[in-house]
A and B are shown apart, each in its own frame.
Chain A
Amino acid sequence: MKGTTGLIRIVKAALLLAFVVFVSLPLVQMTMISFVATLGHPDAELGAFTLRNYRGIFTDPNLRSAFANSIAYVVINICITVPVAIPAAYAFSRLSFVGDKHLFLAFIAFRITPPVVLTLPIFQLFSSLGIVNSVFGIALAHCLFNLPISIWILQGFISAVPREMDETAFLDGYSRRRFIWKILLPLIAPGIAVTAFFCFMFSWVEVVFARILTTTNGKPISMALNALFGFQTDIGLVMAVTVASMLPGAALLFAMRSHLSRGFKIGQV
């Protein structure tokens, strides 16, 4: 018995290690290229180790503004998504109302609708509202997939709070609104952080809406990366920008690591 447990432990560690190596391979390749001069420059030979790719990020005003735009639209998106999702998640978790199941189905359907299906009308709608070429437009468009996912994650967290909490609070004279604000929100604070992180993650890397909504202005990092491809692509710079674009997410990921896996305890609606 002892022998098999040890064997299983070794197999598990080997499998996990193999997967981590597989995950790292393209990332290692990317990081390696980002430190190499891939176009001939006066101060760096082709193929030599260099830091000029990273310096290039700071000297190019387009790239600097791309980082600012990406951060701006992701923050706006989180500021819309989370406050809107919390009451909805509460309702789906605690209340039964006419059409709740159908509404949840509709939300899920919007989450899995491919953005390319809605690109054209969203572009028209947003131009008539005057929010194309601005970070606000992208932030709003990304609610299409972030809002349903957020409701779903938060609903899991709220359902994990025992229902007796609600009942005691109501007996103590709390109104529903005050209960949510004073008792529920502090309890699900880690859940709100996880939700915000997932909004960040899905929004930061999205390309389809980001492309059609920013033809002249407000370009995020992914589009600035696209613009770097041309007749003579400095692939080292491209990889350096990609590495840099992953750093904020990686920092958040590391900060959130112990909460990351909590809160997908799915209750049914």
Chain B
Amino acid sequence: MKERDNTGWIFVLPAVLVLGLVGLVPLITVVNYSFFEIFILDARFWIGTEWYEAIIGSGRFWASFGRSTLFSMLILSVQIPLGIAIALCIPRRKMWVGITLAVVALPLLVPWNMIPSLWLALLNPDSGILGRGLGAVGWPADWKLSIPHTWAVLVAMDVWHWTSLVVILCYSALTTIPASHYQAAAIDGAGPWQVFRHIQLPQLYHVLLMAVLLRFMDSFMIYTEAFPINAGGPDGATMFLAVDLGEEIKAFNYGPSAARSVIYFLIVLTVAYSFSKAQSKLSERQAA
């Protein structure tokens, strides 16, 4: 049991102050702006919830919402199983563990604005390794004109960029399983699937919840990487939520972009809340 002690607040106070400054204060500013029509920041007038009504009522918002949801679902359905599988494949020998993890984590070190450039170079039909290979098997060089192909490139790029994080998280959880569990399973004659189902997977639940949260939210709000691949095209088919907001900010529409930001933050809060609910449910079940 944890100690019941309200001096805990003294320990978290510095963190609260820093996040208050870079998180809460800007958030309140945004909420405030979202109710105004703003031409320049000194001249604004109250218009109530007009921006919100315009955004919620627009087909464009719901279309991007749908696209972002679909993208996140695709990303999760590839990255989570793949991440678990790769984590299970990492060899036991200590020397190989370190090298494998270091190589696998390399994509996390590429500056985000360079990731689309790397993939465009890779897919270049004349000089790219993948572009030439795919050309040889008949993948059309004009993938930018095809909605499914542009989506495939985006998903492949994100899988390349972020699966490593899932691998590292899962692998770290797997290393906490005591050897005695495996020995007991071997004595019971458990096959590999049963070992995975009853010993490894339960140990992964907490970490997977965090991985799902991070990967869901970051892919749902994908911004830097998504736009340069095909400028939101073809035909706006890869305009995601955050890309929409970015365009609004670039156009200096303070009011509407603030309202959009608030709506996005409400989505964030909902997700964070369901995450903490799921986490406490999981803890209860494991305690029982």
Q: Which residues of A contact B (CB under 8 A)?
A: 4, 8, 12-13, 15-16, 19-20, 22-30, 33, 80, 83-85, 87-88, 90-92, 94-98, 100-101, 103-122, 124-125, 140-141, 143-144, 147-148, 151-152, 201, 204-208, 221-222, 225-226, 235, 238-239, 242, 245-246, 249-250, 253-254, 257-258, 260-266, 268
Choose among A90, A107, A208, A249 the residue that contacts B109 (Cβ–Cβ < 8 A): A249
B2-19 interface bits toward A, Cβ cutoff 8 Å, 1 = contact, 0 = none: 111111111110111011
User: Could you tell me the distance in whole angstroms from the C-beta of A55 to the nearest C-beta in chain B?
Assistant: 20
Choose among A28, A91, A148, A205 the residue that contacts B108 (Cβ–Cβ < 8 A): A205
Q: Which residues of B contact A (CB under 8 A)?
A: 2-12, 14-16, 18-19, 21-23, 25-27, 29-30, 33, 41, 82, 85-86, 88-91, 94, 97-114, 117-119, 121-122, 128-130, 160, 163-164, 168-169, 171-173, 175-176, 192, 206-207, 210, 213-214, 217-218, 221, 223-224, 242, 245-246, 249, 254, 257-258, 261, 264-265, 268-269, 271-273, 275-276, 279-280, 282-283
Choose among A96, A105, A141 the residue that contacts B3 (Cβ–Cβ < 8 A): A96
Question: Are A253 and B109 in touch, CB under 8 angstroms?
Answer: yes
Q: How far is the CA of A144 from the CA of B269 in the complex (A)?
A: 15
Chain B residue contacts of A206, Cβ below 8 A: 112
- Select from chain A the residue with minimum beta-carbon distance to B32: A121
Question: Are B221 and A268 in touch, CB under 8 angstroms?
Answer: no
Q: Which 7 A-B pairs have the closest CB atoms?
A: A257-B98, A97-B8, A91-B11, A121-B26, A114-B221, A121-B29, A95-B8
**What are 14 pairs between A and B in contact, CB < 8 Å?**
A23-B160, A26-B107, A29-B118, A94-B3, A97-B8, A100-B8, A113-B268, A116-B245, A125-B25, A205-B111, A222-B112, A235-B121, A239-B121, A268-B206
- Given known pairs A95-B8, A97-B6, A113-B23, the reply for A26 and B118 (CB within 8 Å) is yes
Chain A residue contacts of B207, Cβ below 8 A: 264, 266
User: Could you tell me the distance in whole angstroms from the C-beta of A90 to the nearest C-beta in chain B?
Assistant: 6
- Select from chain B the residue with minimum beta-carbon distance to A201: B108
Question: Are B258 and A120 in touch, CB under 8 angstroms?
Answer: yes
Question: Are B5 and A29 in touch, CB under 8 angstroms?
Answer: no
Chain A residue contacts of B22, Cβ below 8 A: 118, 122, 140-141, 143-144
Q: How far is the CA of A95 from the CA of B152 in the complex (A)?
A: 47
Choose among B113, B114, B223, B276 the residue that contacts A105 (Cβ–Cβ < 8 A): B276
User: Could you tell me the distance in whole angstroms from the C-beta of A29 to the nearest C-beta in chain B?
Assistant: 5
Choose among A98, A221, A250, A261 the residue that contacts B172 (Cβ–Cβ < 8 A): A261
Chain A residue contacts of B18, Cβ below 8 A: 80, 84, 140, 143, 147
Q: How far is the CA of A141 from the CA of B21 in the complex (A)?
A: 9
Question: Are B130 and A250 in touch, CB under 8 angstroms?
Answer: no
Chain A residue contacts of B88, Cβ below 8 A: 12
Chain A residue contacts of B254, Cβ below 8 A: 120
Q: How far is the CA of A39 from the CA of B109 in the complex (A)?
A: 27
Question: Are B129 and A29 in touch, CB under 8 angstroms?
Answer: yes
User: Could you tell me the distance in whole angstroms from the C-beta of A131 to the nearest C-beta in chain B?
Assistant: 11
- Select from chain A the residue with minimum beta-carbon distance to B243: A116
Q: How far is the CA of A147 from the CA of B18 in the complex (A)?
A: 9
Q: How far is the CA of A8 from the CA of B192 in the complex (A)?
A: 9
Question: Are A226 and B113 in touch, CB under 8 angstroms?
Answer: yes
Chain A residue contacts of B163, Cβ below 8 A: 19
Between B5, B11, B105, the greatest number of chain A beta carbons within 10 A of the residue's beta carbon is seen for: B11
User: Could you tell me the distance in whole angstroms from the C-beta of B35 to the nearest C-beta in chain A?
Assistant: 14
Choose among B86, B206, B272 the residue that contacts A266 (Cβ–Cβ < 8 A): B206
Q: How far is the CA of A64 from the CA of B122 in the complex (A)?
A: 27
- Given known pairs A91-B11, A260-B168, the reply for A208 and B30 (CB within 8 Å) is no
Question: Are A118 and B30 in touch, CB under 8 angstroms?
Answer: yes
Q: How far is the CA of A246 from the CA of B223 in the complex (A)?
A: 21
Chain B residue contacts of A19, Cβ below 8 A: 82, 86, 89, 104, 163
Chain B residue contacts of A266, Cβ below 8 A: 173, 206-207, 210
Q: How far is the CA of A113 from the CA of B19 in the complex (A)?
A: 12
Chain B residue contacts of A264, Cβ below 8 A: 168-169, 172-173, 207, 210
User: Could you tell me the distance in whole angstroms from the C-beta of B221 to the nearest C-beta in chain A?
Assistant: 4
